[in-house]
Amino acid sequence: MAQLIYDLDVDRVRANVEEARERIAVAAGLAGRAPDEVQLLAAVKYVPLESIGVLAEAGLTLLGENRAQDLEAKAGAYERRFTWDFIGHLQSRKVKQVLPWVRLIHSVSSDSVLEQLAKHAGGSGVEVLVEVNVAGEASKSGIAPAELAAFVERCPVPVVGLMTMPPLAARPEDNRRHFAALRELAERHGLRELSMGTSQDYEVAVEEGATIVRLGSTLYV
């Protein structure tokens, strides 16, 4: 299957960003939260390098890339215009490649990655989120909730929060329990950041405490 590559129009993206921010504000209000407690991250896996500048024109400042080689190319070309996070599955052999470009890695979930962070992350200032498989899906990455305390203790760089990718749901509401479970887990361990919610369910995620929502298609089409 051919990959979808977004052909971006700045006016359309700007309108979509404004709508997403309005929806985030409404969802935050329903939970008694301030809208500025939630960061909107634009997922750019399918945005070509030459179109990244459109996102700055549309008012976006925080971008997330899933692939190490594409992160290096895009962040290298637009380093000063954006803040970059790594949001995809991270192979241990790619840790060194990712580190120079990002403020946060959202997807730390293996001891092999921890070993590479110990070797290469000293002085980088990078912080990490631990990916937790709250739904217990065999096909998904992430540690089990019961493993979190020991995993955080082994991590050689600061762990500031958690990330999850819940099941693809027929209704956004179906994922509320997974978002709530991640929030409760973060609260028990004193972690402030929650990267949860994508284009399909970000409003529910915000209601349940998301501090970063990762949006792709809803911003571009």
Domain positions in the chain are 10-220
| 111 has pLDDT over 50 | yes
Q: How far, in Å, CA of 72 to CA of 100, rounded?
A: 9
Domain 10-220 classification at class level: alpha beta
Burial of 142 (0-12, 13-18, 19+ CB in 10 A): buried
| 54 has pLDDT over 50 | yes
Q: What are the pLDDT digits (tens) for 127-185?
A: 999 999 998 888 888 999 999 999 999 999 999 999 999 888 889 999 999 999 999 99
| 186 has pLDDT over 60 | yes
Q: How far, in Å, CA of 107 to CA of 87, rounded?
A: 6
Q: How far, in Å, CA of 32 to CA of 206, rounded?
A: 11
What are residue 194's DSSP bridge partners?
A: 162
pTM: 0.95
Q: How far, in Å, CA of 74 to CA of 58, rounded?
A: 17
